[in-house]
């Protein structure tokens, strides 16, 4: 099964899969710009049917529109391009599942969604808090993306799970004692009960998974969750208003086995089946 070929009719599709191959601010191990292509290739090796949801991709209307053409070096230009591109898609009534790329790509996508969904809530699954205000004098970085996101949606609408790498000062930011779940996903039900029926944008930084499950990432962090734990969280969204998502930070060449790309493709399958069209 290849996502790109699964539904050839864009006009009838309600969910758009789009690659955002950018890793211009990656500081440790770049390479996530190759992830969209690697996820598509890995998707040939997995079934379209999800036994976890008893649903099949062949029964939903979605289309892989390919990759957004981006600049190699101009961060601000890329942020503008991504936001404009995504906004055009969602204003036509379609939903978006984006394939990163580094985590910074989530920021303009969330900005585009906030323009349509005024009460938008963001759920972040991640090993890293990404809350610092500036990284190496840069305001826009994969390390600052959730700080910028909180400025758009409000700290009260940013829920973080799986966090196990951060600076101490992050705890002093608004509501981090309440809306941040350290080390695991144990607050998932509490968060979802509080969110109720608000529109949810989900950003999945794949390094939330333990490196033993997912070594192919730029900033691996020991002590992560298992695939089953991540999947169980996703299934909790079945009755929620999930209106968009992204999957970021696969750097495929750090895992020669290709398993990380297959894991990413499997997660993309589950999300396609969960997003409310």
pLDDT in the model for residue 136: 80
Kindly give the interhelix angle for 35-42 and 259-274, rounded to the nearest 10 degrees.
80
pLDDT in the model for residue 28: 79
pLDDT in the model for residue 5: 46
Nearest to 53 by CA among 258, 242, 193: 242
pLDDT in the model for residue 12: 66
What CATH number does residue 26 fall under?
3.40.800.10
pLDDT in the model for residue 25: 85
Backbone angles phi, psi at 76, to 5 degrees: -65, -40
Positions of the chain with pLDDT under 70: 1-12, 277
Token output for 138:
């840069």
Domain of residue 148, residue span:
3-274
In Å, how far are 31, 121, 269, 275, 276 from 259, measured between CA atoms?
A: 16, 31, 15, 25, 28
How many structural domains are present in the chain?
1
């Amino acid at each position: 099964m290849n996502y790109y070929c699964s539904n050839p009719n864009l006009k009838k599709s309600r969910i758009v899969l789009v690659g955002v191959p950018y890793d211009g601010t990656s500081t440790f191990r770049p390479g996530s710009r190759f992830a969209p292509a690697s996820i598509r290739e890995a998707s040939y090796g997995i079934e379209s049917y999800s036994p976890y949801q008893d649903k099949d991709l062949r029964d939903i209307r979605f289309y892989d529109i390919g990759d957004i053409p981006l600049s190699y070096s101009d961060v601000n230009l890329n942020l503008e391009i991504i936001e404009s591109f995504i906004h055009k898609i969602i204003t036509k009534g379609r939903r978006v599942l984006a394939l990163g790329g580094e985590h910074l790509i989530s920021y303009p996508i969330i900005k585009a969604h906030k323009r349509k969904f005024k009460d938008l809530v963001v759920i972040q699954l991640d090993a890293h808090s990404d809350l610092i205000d500036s990284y190496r004098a840069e305001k826009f970085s994969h390390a600052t993306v959730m700080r910028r996101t909180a400025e758009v949606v409000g700290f009260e609408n940013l829920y973080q799970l799986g966090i196990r790498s951060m600076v101490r000062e992050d705890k002093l930011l608004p509501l981090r004692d309440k809306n941040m779940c350290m080390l695991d996903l144990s607050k998932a039900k509490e968060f979802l009960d509080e969110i109720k029926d608000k529109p949810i944008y989900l950003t999945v930084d794949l390094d939330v998974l333990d490196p033993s499950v997912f070594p192919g990432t730029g900033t691996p962090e020991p002590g992560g969750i298992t695939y089953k734990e991540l999947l169980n969280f996703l299934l909790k969204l079945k009755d929620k208003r999930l209106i968009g998502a992204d999957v970021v930070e696969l750097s495929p060449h750090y895992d020669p086995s290709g398993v990380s790309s297959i894991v990413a493709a499997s997660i993309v399958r589950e999300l396609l089946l969960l997003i409310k069209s």
